[in-house]
Structure 1
Amino acid sequence: MIDLRAARTDPDAVRAALARKGAAEDFDRLLAADERWRSLVPRVDELRARTKLKGKPDAEQLEELQVVKAELKEAESGLAAAEAERDALALRVPNPPHENVPNGSTEDDVREVRRVGEPVSLEEPREHFEVGRFDMERAARMSGARFGYWVGDTARLALALYRFALDRLATKGFLTVLPPVLVRESALVGTGAFPSDEANVYELPADELYLAGTAEIPLASLHAGEIVPAGELPLRYVAFSPCFRREAGAAGRDTRGMIRVHQFNKVEQFSLTRPESSWDELELLLSNTEELVSALGLPYRVVVLPAGDMSSASAKTYDVEIWFPSQERYRETASISNTTDFQARRLMIRFRGEHGPELVHMLNGTAVVDRMALAILENFQGDIPDVLQPFGAPDRVAS
């Protein structure tokens, strides 16, 4: 959540920034609720002070004390209600975007940073599901739409891709993690996925658990409530996990093949840093992803997402988009974000700085994801990059 104390100091600047995410009205409601809460605090403090009598009270003082206690009970109830309203509204206010993030909310509003590699132009490009071996028909009979089996060499390609990324990042000092995929509500609130992305999360009501849509969610809670030793920063993790998304609102989009499905696998980078280091860390995570994509020989471009298309938690997000010949366009395959202190404030993750405990900054970024395997199938039409063969991938995929 945002730093409310700082927002009170310069509300106009914060409002203007949040307006770029379409959240100015939510911010104004939060400020109004915060003002109501703050206006009640002095009255509660006054009544509490009046309940503390010196010496043995006489009958008149006892009678007055009962009146004060009744007033205090009512005032405390009002204060608690105002605090609950303020806290609920605070969860709906996103992280303000960085000043160099472009305006807008659509894919046409991205700012292109660079292009790497020459897009493949094929006379008759086969789509990924024509090159690789997938079984979406049988998966649909079992699980419903937007699920699929990865079969044979295609499955081996995907597994090699994950191991390739995990090993590359381990050599860079990232600690490998296999996290839980079932999480409590607090983990989703902590990352900002709740309440902003509630519609896309699978719930298991009987167990009060949810299926995580990314390893970012369990990784963010790894140090929840802790004061991390300053000398250990930055803490860098790389995790493999299945990911689950309901894809609410995606009806009619990417219905062919495995581009947009409810279950996929991903290798995720995650960092905790000092605030002054987080923007350099964002560039490091981006360079890691670019290095992996370049090693695979895939043409791609890097863009900065516009303010209105970023996650609630992100202050700045880079997307790495890989070329898909069958669509003759770049498609998003990785997102790398700096959430500054937004998630750390919700999860209370701090380090002991020069002036006492301070919030860390938290960053996340895709290393590889299933969609990259689809891009390999389409760009090389069945041939597999040599870099993946030491990890168990075949020379060529047999469809």
Structure 2
Amino acid sequence: MTIEQQISDLARRAKVASSSLTVLSTVTKNRVLQKVAELLIEEKESIQRENEKDLVNGRQKGLSAAMLDRLRLSDTVLQSMVTALHEVCALPDPIGKVDDLVKRPNGLLVGRMRVPLGVIAMVYESRPNVTVEAAALCIKTGNAVILRGGSEAIHSNLALADILQKALVSQQVDKDVVQVIPTTDRQAVSHLLTLEEYIDLVIPRGGEGLIRFVSQNSRIPVLKHYKGVCHLYIDKDADVAKAVPLAINSKTHRPGVCNALEGLLIHEEIAAQALPVLATALIDKGVELRGCTKSTSLDKRVIKAADSDWGTEFLDLVLCVKVVKDFEEAKAYIMKYGSQHTESIVTENYSTAQRFINEIDASAVMVNASTRFNDGGQLGLGAEIGISTTKLHAYGPMGLEELTTRKFIVYGQGQVRV
């Protein structure tokens, strides 16, 4: 069987299996997720053995420390996956929910019901925990899912797929509801993106190259989880003592993830006071600062940034620093270099904070908070399938409702149109 035949068969089976999900009760779906959580704990050692194969390969290929961190299924990461599964179980099931039921003048009752999208294809890089979190959200919302993780995580993803399918079978649910593409051949993705007769939505989650490849080659609607070029703007009315831990957390908590800080903007009226303090704190955490001419003159530890640095998603302990004249320049910079992911302001001025919220275009806009909070779990959605940086049909972290659509339902008593 060729790769094309293998992927076509896999997608066809997912389409067939998706119909069985629409009639599953919430209780059954939750039992599947609870079983996945149990198996993650019971089979932790075997999962981590497979994960270690990926880590060894990653080191041999020269992956950065940040990328290896994203790849690692540590005890902490596995426990966070278990916690996320329990959170999804506890969330209300949106499927079957009827909104806006109204009686028309002709007596018809018209409403809109939440229904699954159908079959979702996820194409993503590095983080194998996405395999479980994406599958959990799809199961809860009655969607079948085809998962294609990065080649660097193939052993981890196949081990997690085995866990997921065991849990499905334990509750008499078709195991083809969740499938992981078992090859690292890129041709598999290319062919997957042509299967519009089986797949309803593609969600790419990864670097800029992956997003562009999927967007340019897909015949299926694409919901983009684009790169995270996130900024923290230190306003002239900022509390510097508050700004320091926000900058450190945003940049260094997990530098290899999409909601990590990549650009630090400082109002010129506070720059002489704030930059040395921020620079000391960040450099002490191992961050390399690359800045504009004004920032390098204010602090010699900031090295001159290259033109290519601005707007770069470093995913590492590197941070761009820009001193701006005012709010308008900060806004213009974010519009030019941001990726509509996460933007945050540090200020004690309410009016400026409201301007930032109203005028900055991003999937999440923060006031006096770390960019790291743009995350489904942190925002109350439970596990997320990604953070959409496009506005159709979701914007920001995609939880349960973002994986559904609504159909009209109409109750009549024999009415005909005249």
TM-score between the two structures when normalised by the length of structure 1: 0.23
TM-score between the two structures when normalised by the length of structure 2: 0.22
**Which structure has the higher relative contact order (CA within 8 Å, separation 6+)?**
1
